[in-house]
Chain A
């Protein structure tokens, strides 16, 4: 689907059903790899990662009959580019369980440069020492700047730096899909 906006072009790469299927598969993979919900904690990165972690949690509950604890992480206090940004809102980190010795699955919507995940790993280690940290991502768009990879990926999407990947969720965006927006600017 291609819509021509005034200048920007956008195209859909996942619809609501595909997103749902990906999240079901990822939930199964998490259960398989960790052999059940034993020491599992799902940690969503604000904002969309938190919603996705809740959905993964619901799937796991449905498949396994027991719940994995959910936590929320805000990484703004750990950014390496604070000087370049206008102070982004910080939301409280909520960690209902001790992270010590747990199998943590970090959840975020898009994996791009890897810097957010780097910050999340720092934030996590300030809270304690998990036994293992895994990463679940809905869309991996490439262009890593750090040696970071995801353990669970909804969809791999080749992109150019001139594009932006937007995951839209009904809770935050009123619609449910993943789109690529062409920013229409020249790359130096």
Chain B
């Protein structure tokens, strides 16, 4: 199968997509990636998100919806916005949110991910939000912890579904419709879990995706490698154009990805200066896009590398709105996962 081969990056993807945890959308238990979301389910999450945005705009932003539910955020990798965003989302919905990080917990004493997960399950935790440097880690928890809902907050190079959903929401709010929108994703797509999840979401919603950046940083494996993708494959229509000036022509959205400095040592780039010259998203380049095109970035930004400072804080930028919408999207997901389920500690005994 094309997808599972393509998704395995060789270095650290322990077969994540092989485990099919797809559940009917009405009874979703986990959010691991967007590959098992239908267009209808994505649309209904985005609809719920607008209701959550209204709650966040209130003077007193608190609703009692998830009273008595426990959400644990387990972050094995550093994060500011994703972690705070999940914490805020849970708290606005009145869930109890407990933060766990690898340092200062039993992870320091060598406890395995699975045992940590089993401990949380035994404590009656309802939702585990996990970020982990290894691709597939959330799939392991989802498979082994039947009484817990698992949300992937970023796993290795594999997926970051909640970021992709907030990107989709931001685009839909601004453009009205994603069908037929031209979305250019620029930079280190190869090492970007955000871009991978965005690809699933955008193609499901009928957007035309163009990837641009140095050939060494294009996920050619994902797009079939040397073989042509089957026409039916969701990524079959994804374009790759290493010439950003050409790719950006007529774009509705330009999304710059973070260039991780380690990549330069990894031999992926000739030099930072050349990268900046050819692939930095600048005002001059944006002038080639459609008037009113959106500038997006999943953060954290290296201003002056993948995006010019003027553009990052300019009128076309929706980067701050992405962050605000992130809280609302995560509220919509927590609501979805917690509704329709009784207290599992009381069940089954």
Whether A126 touches B62, Cβ cut-off 8 Å, given contacts A74-B51, A89-B48, is: yes
A83–B342 CB distance below 8 A:
yes
* Chain B residues whose CB sits within 8 angstroms of the CB of A85 once the complex forms: 339-340
Q: Is A187 an interface residue (CB 8 A)?
A: no
B51–A90 CB distance below 8 A:
yes
Encoded as 1 (CB less than 8 Å from any A CB) or 0, chain B from 35 to 47 comes to 0000000001001
B339–A92 CB distance below 8 A:
no
* Chain B residues whose CB sits within 8 angstroms of the CB of A77 once the complex forms: 51, 55, 63-65, 93, 335
* Chain B residues whose CB sits within 8 angstroms of the CB of A90 once the complex forms: 47-48, 51-52, 332, 335
Provide the bound-state CA to CA distance between A122 and B94, in Å: 14
**Other-chain contact of B65, A78, A84, A91 (Cβ < 8 Å):** A78
- The smallest C-beta distance from A92 to any residue of chain B, in angstroms, reads 4
Closest to B49 in A: A90
Interface size class on chain A is 20 to 34
Provide the bound-state CA to CA distance between A86 and B27, in Å: 7
B62–A92 CB distance below 8 A:
no
**Other-chain contact of B58, A78, A82, A89, A127 (Cβ < 8 Å):** A127
B47–A89 CB distance below 8 A:
yes
Whether A83 touches B335, Cβ cut-off 8 Å, given contacts A89-B47, A93-B51, A122-B64, is: no
* Chain A residues whose CB sits within 8 angstroms of the CB of B64 once the complex forms: 77-78, 122
B339–A88 CB distance below 8 A:
yes
Provide the bound-state CA to CA distance between A79 and B340, in Å: 12
* Chain B residues whose CB sits within 8 angstroms of the CB of A83 once the complex forms: 339-343
B54–A92 CB distance below 8 A:
yes
Q: Is A3 an interface residue (CB 8 A)?
A: no
Q: Is B338 an interface residue (CB 8 A)?
A: yes
Encoded as 1 (CB less than 8 Å from any A CB) or 0, chain B from 13 to 28 comes to 0000000000000110
* Chain A residues whose CB sits within 8 angstroms of the CB of B339 once the complex forms: 82-83, 85-88
Encoded as 1 (CB less than 8 Å from any A CB) or 0, chain B from 309 to 344 comes to 000000000000000000000001001101111110
Closest to B64 in A: A78
Within 8 A of B (CB), among A74-118: 74, 76-79, 82-94
Q: Is B60 an interface residue (CB 8 A)?
A: yes
**Other-chain contact of A84, B52, B63, B335, B340 (Cβ < 8 Å):** B340
Whether A92 touches B58, Cβ cut-off 8 Å, given contacts A77-B64, A83-B339, A86-B340, is: no
* Chain B residues whose CB sits within 8 angstroms of the CB of A93 once the complex forms: 51, 54-55
Within 8 A of B (CB), among A117-176: 122-123, 126-127
Provide the bound-state CA to CA distance between A122 and B62, in Å: 12
Closest to B66 in A: A82
Q: Is B237 an interface residue (CB 8 A)?
A: no
Provide the bound-state CA to CA distance between A76 and B340, in Å: 12
Encoded as 1 (CB less than 8 Å from any A CB) or 0, chain B from 64 to 89 comes to 11000000000000000000000000
Provide the bound-state CA to CA distance between A85 and B342, in Å: 10
* Chain A residues whose CB sits within 8 angstroms of the CB of B44 once the complex forms: 89
* Chain B residues whose CB sits within 8 angstroms of the CB of A122 once the complex forms: 64
* Chain B residues whose CB sits within 8 angstroms of the CB of A89 once the complex forms: 44, 47-48
* Chain A residues whose CB sits within 8 angstroms of the CB of B51 once the complex forms: 74, 77, 90-93
* Chain B residues whose CB sits within 8 angstroms of the CB of A91 once the complex forms: 47, 51
Whether A126 touches B63, Cβ cut-off 8 Å, given contacts A90-B51, A92-B50, A92-B53, is: yes
* Chain B residues whose CB sits within 8 angstroms of the CB of A94 once the complex forms: 54
Provide the bound-state CA to CA distance between A83 and B335, in Å: 10
Closest to B332 in A: A90
Provide the bound-state CA to CA distance between A86 and B47, in Å: 16
Provide the bound-state CA to CA distance between A184 and B129, in Å: 44
Chain B residues with a Cβ under 8 A of chain A: 26-27, 44, 47-48, 50-55, 58, 60, 62-65, 93, 332, 335-336, 338-343
**13 more A-B residue pairs beyond the given contacts A82-B340, A88-B339, A90-B51, with a C-beta to C-beta distance below 8 A:** A77-B63, A77-B64, A77-B335, A78-B64, A82-B65, A82-B338, A82-B339, A83-B339, A83-B341, A86-B339, A89-B47, A90-B52, A94-B54
A-B contact pairs, 15 of them (CB 8 A): A74-B51, A76-B65, A77-B93, A79-B65, A82-B338, A83-B341, A85-B339, A86-B339, A87-B48, A87-B339, A87-B340, A90-B332, A92-B50, A126-B63, A127-B58
